[in-house]
Amino acid sequence: MFIKKDGTVFVFCSSKCQLNMLKLGRVPRWTPWTQAFRRASGATVEERVEAPAAEEETAPAAEAAAVEVTIDAPKGKDIPADLTDLVDKRLGPDLSRGDLEKYYADFLRDSAFKHSIVNAARKAHPGKTITHIEKSEFLAWKDTSDGRHVFKAWLDGQWQKVKGRKEEPEEEAEPPKAAKKAKKGA
């Protein structure tokens, strides 16, 4: 709650809203994520129909399966350096930038990654349907212990594929017989 000297009372839902209006001088009607903008554009739903309790239990599970989540992850030169360093260390120091980006894109398509980041987003925003995950949320997720664990597990799987591709030499060369060295002072 913020009260001006003239007696105007502002009630903010978060510090983000307060700072945007008071410090940055943004007009709520022109800021897309505010309720005032939704009212001005006519995008609000006036009434919600309450569903029985039995339907509420089954609806989130069905809704979660049906909703397609888009993940806005950094691409190209914006790929986080710590992830590229891990790929470089694990899969080979001589990888080109294109190969790094290919491995990174494969990681973004991995189902374990998607499952983990969507669950993290659901925990961060309980009760909301998750349809879009922003870059900032992705960067925050990758720094969590779960994010690091998922990425390293994926890297281990990729290492097994890379390791399996290399051909073993068919003939094992016998090591040369070394002559015994004389001890010092003998």
Q: Provide the residue ranges of all domains of the chain, joining segments of one domain with +.
A: 2-41, 58-164
- How many CB atoms neighbour CB 137 within 10 A? 19
CA distances from 65 to 58, 61, 113, 120 (A): 11, 6, 16, 16
Mind listing the pLDDT tens digit for each residue in 26-38? Answer: 888 778 877 777 7
Looking at 76-178, which runs of residues are DSSP E strands?
132-133
Residue 145: per-residue pLDDT: 87
Residue 76: per-residue pLDDT: 81
Q: Tell the residue number behind the tokens 């983990």, with chain if given.
A: 116
Residue 102's closest CA among 72, 82, 76? 76
* DSSP one-letter string for 59-122: HHHHHHHHPPPEE----GGGS-HHHHHHHHHHH-TT--HHHHHHHHHHHHH-HHHHHHHHHHHH
pTM of the model: 0.51
Residues in contact with 139: Cβ distance below 8 Å, sequence separation at least 6, in sequence order: 74, 80
Mind listing the pLDDT tens digit for each residue in 145-174? Answer: 888 888 888 888 888 887 766 544 555 555
Residue 33: per-residue pLDDT: 77
Residue 46: per-residue pLDDT: 44
Separation of CA 4 from chain center: 40
Largest interatomic CA distance in the chain: 102
Residue 2: per-residue pLDDT: 84
Distance (Å, whole) CA 29 – CA 10? 15
The encoded tokens of residue 65 equal 């399966």
Distance (Å, whole) CA 57 – CA 102? 40
Residue 92: per-residue pLDDT: 77
Residue 162: per-residue pLDDT: 74
